[in-house]
Amino acid sequence: RRQRVKLVLTTTGFAAAGTGEDAATLWDELDCPVLQMVCSSGSRNTWRESSVGLGPRDLGMQVVLPELDGRLLGRVVSFKEAQQRHPQLDCPLFRYTPVAERLTWCARWARAWLQLAATPAARRRLAIVLANYPTRNSHLANGVGLDTPASVAACLGWLAAAGYGVAGELPRDGDQLIHKLTTGRSNDPRSLPLAPMAHLPLPAYEAWFSRLPAPARQAVLERWGPPDQDDHLEAEGFAVHGCRFGAVVVLIQPSRGYERDPQLSYHSPDLPPTHHYLATYHWLQAVHRADGVIHFGKHGNLEWLPGKGVGLSSSCFPDLALGPLPHLYPFIVNDPGEGAQAKRRSQALILDHLTPPLARAGLHGQEAVLEQRLDEYWQALQLGSSRAPRLRRELDALLAALHLDGEGDLDQRLEQADGYLCELKEAQIRTGLHRYGVAPEPRQRLELLLALARCPRGDQPGLTQAMAMDLGLALDPWSSEESAALSRQDRQRLNLPATARCAGDATALLEDWALALLE
């Protein structure tokens, strides 16, 4: 009888699925967390002394390839050690030696995932952590490409509808969430007079801090001094910033440090976190007793804390700050590099979200007026119209108003302006921010699909390139300069008016046709 598998712990390297395959793998059929443990082919001493952690062979076979299956990366649980030299074979004999402490970490991590699945929704306790860099309220919940406040507000509603123990008045939108967060203490120095959400008492923190591995503890003490002298320590203990909604708390991620230039500390490879930082993460585990953590939006600073690049030890700060908790991370889909950092250094399950909708910039305001007047002027010249001198004077004034009155005579400047407008209106821009779980509007979806479809892939042309080839055009809508002159032959093939002078005019027409095809 087939048993229901709830979790898989594996040390198998490589990937179950081949590149580009759509067939379901064993992991798809099991439909449960697959936790990857690493059996390093190197020695423990080499790993201990390395800031990188794992070598290229282990990284490729036991980290990168398993990620293709969606496996969650745990810790290094054994090392390949030379035991003795064989007298007859005249070569060393190797043996994999387990690391009890790292095995225990993986066992606790697996148990946490199983406990999360087994706990009824009403009893699950979650912590949602919001990035805040720079540490001003104006930069609170600033996930890249994501309307993080609106997304978190919606997420709270989804959790309530799913039966989670969400209590209190939930924010209806992102503005209300930010208002709730900023009516209490935050990282912003101007909020210091306000009350924080909670405190972690100093004795509780000191008891935990004293049990940290000596190298990590010493690094914090050397940089920040003892806990009882921390600048963020108050009579009640270390302040925890955020707001509570029953069993779910929304926390503001603490700052990395106090230095005068915070930008230097954000990705610093060797600046240890402050006592206040560590106290916040200890609070969510020891006091809030979170069953899982959600860092919402790219990206916070946990995965950038000092420690090994991959294959973390117990002295690495992401490891000791977060512990073996299930970690979910909504993250923008077009930055897999930094997403890998979160997967490899904070055992994150990445939940990809779309980029903001993309569209062509188009022309607006005075730029749109300038394009219209240019078309009228070229047409007037061709027809010998008496309007041409008046339009010429008007164009001269428009160029000056738009600060496009560069070098050369007016005719040269008009040619330059025409090319500039072609490039400007075809520029790709994002239109707003993505909201997690919300599909773009139909028109935005079409523009996004066009932005993706027009990109060539290897030997395959993009959509507008293929259309240009079918029409026998000389221009390449992907690589030709928008301001380049449009050939008479291409203009005739596209049935464009004589006022269409730039390659950008032809590209715009092809993209309009492509949108119609996508519809």
Q: Which of 68, 103, 138 is the last residue of a domain?
A: 103
Look at the alpha carbons of 115, 120, 124, 128 in this order and tell me if their dihedral is positive or negative: positive
Give the whole-angstrom CA distance, residue 439 versus residue 394: 44
Q: Are residues 344 and 481 in the same domain?
A: no
- Alpha-carbon distance of 452 to 377, in angstroms, equals 36
Question: Are 311 and 194 part of one and the same domain?
Answer: yes
Both tokens of 460, joined, read 């395959």
- DSSP structural state of residue 502: B
- DSSP letter for 184, please: S
Last residue of a domain, one of 353, 379, 414: 353
The Cα 466–Cα 399 span in angstroms is: 36
Point out which residues pair with 328 in neighbouring strands. 294, 349
Q: In whole angstroms, what is the distance from residue 465 CA to residue 262 CA?
A: 46
- Does residue 400 share a domain with residue 345? no
Residues 372-421 have pLDDT tens digits of 999 899 889 888 888 999 999 999 999 999 998 777 889 888 888 888 88
pTM equals 0.88
Distance CA 425, CA 372 (A): 13
The domain boundary, picked from 103, 132, 157, lies at 103
Q: Is 250 exposed, middle or buried (0-12, 13-18, 19+ CB in 10 A)?
A: buried
Whether 92 and 138 map to the same domain: the answer is no
Residues 207 and 345 grouped into a single domain: yes
> What's residue 260's pLDDT?
44
Q: Among 457, 464, 453, 463, which Cα is nearest to 510's? A: 464
Q: Cβ(275)–Cβ(232) under 8 Å?
A: yes
Query: Do residue 76 and residue 43 come from a single domain?
Result: yes
What is residue 1's predicted lDDT score, i.e. its pLDDT? 46
Type of residue found at 467: M
Residue 512: inside a domain, yes or no?
Answer: yes
Q: Are residues 278 and 156 in the same domain?
A: yes
**Domain tally for the chain?**
4
Question: Do 73 and 219 fall within a single domain?
Answer: no
Residue 261 lies in domain: 121-353
Residue 128 falls within a domain, yes or no? yes
Residue 229 lies in a domain: yes
Within this chain, do residues 278 and 296 fall inside the same structural domain, yes or no? yes
In whole angstroms, what is the distance from residue 234 CA to residue 513 CA?
64
| 62 and 15, same domain (yes or no) | yes
Q: Is residue 502 part of a domain?
A: yes
Phi/psi region, residue 360 (left: phi>0; alpha: psi -120 to 50; beta: rest), is beta
Give me the tens of pLDDT residue by residue for the chain, a chain 519 residues long. 457 899 999 999 999 876 565 667 788 888 999 999 999 999 999 999 999 999 999 999 999 999 999 999 999 999 999 887 777 777 888 899 999 999 999 999 999 999 999 999 999 999 999 999 888 999 999 999 999 999 999 999 999 999 999 999 999 999 999 999 999 999 999 999 999 999 999 999 999 999 999 999 999 999 999 999 998 999 999 999 999 999 999 999 999 886 545 555 556 678 999 999 999 999 999 999 999 999 999 989 999 999 999 999 999 999 999 999 999 999 999 999 999 999 999 999 999 999 998 888 888 889 999 989 998 998 898 888 889 999 999 999 999 999 987 778 898 888 888 888 888 887 888 888 999 999 999 999 999 999 899 899 989 999 999 999 999 999 999 888 887 888 999 999 999 987 788 888 899 899 999 999 998
Structure tokens at 409: 């005579």
Residue 113, domain member (yes or no) = no
460 DSSP 8-state letter = B
Query: Is the CB of residue 71 less than 8 Å from the CB of residue 17?
Result: no
- Label the pairing between strands 233-234 and 237-240: antiparallel
Q: How many helices (H) and strands (E) does the chain have?
A: 20, 15
Residues 221 and 80 in one domain: no
Examine the domain organization and report whether 28 and 49 are in the same domain: yes
Strand 233-234 and strand 327-332: the pairing is unpaired
On whether residue 231 sits in a domain, the answer given is: yes
20 is a domain residue: yes
Q: At what angle do helices 365-383 and 387-401 cross, to 10 degrees?
A: 150
Describe the strand order of the beta sheet including 233-234 as a list of residue ranges: 198-200, 237-240, 233-234
pLDDT score of 360? 81
Q: What are phi and psi of 254, to 5 degrees?
A: -70, 165
Between the alpha carbon of residue 152 and those of residues 86, 193, 205, 352, the distances in Å are: 61, 26, 29, 15
Q: How far apart are CA 47 and CA 313, in angstroms?
A: 9
- Reported as a single tens digit per residue, the pLDDT across 212-248 is 999 999 999 999 999 999 989 999 999 999 999 999 9
58 falls within a domain: yes
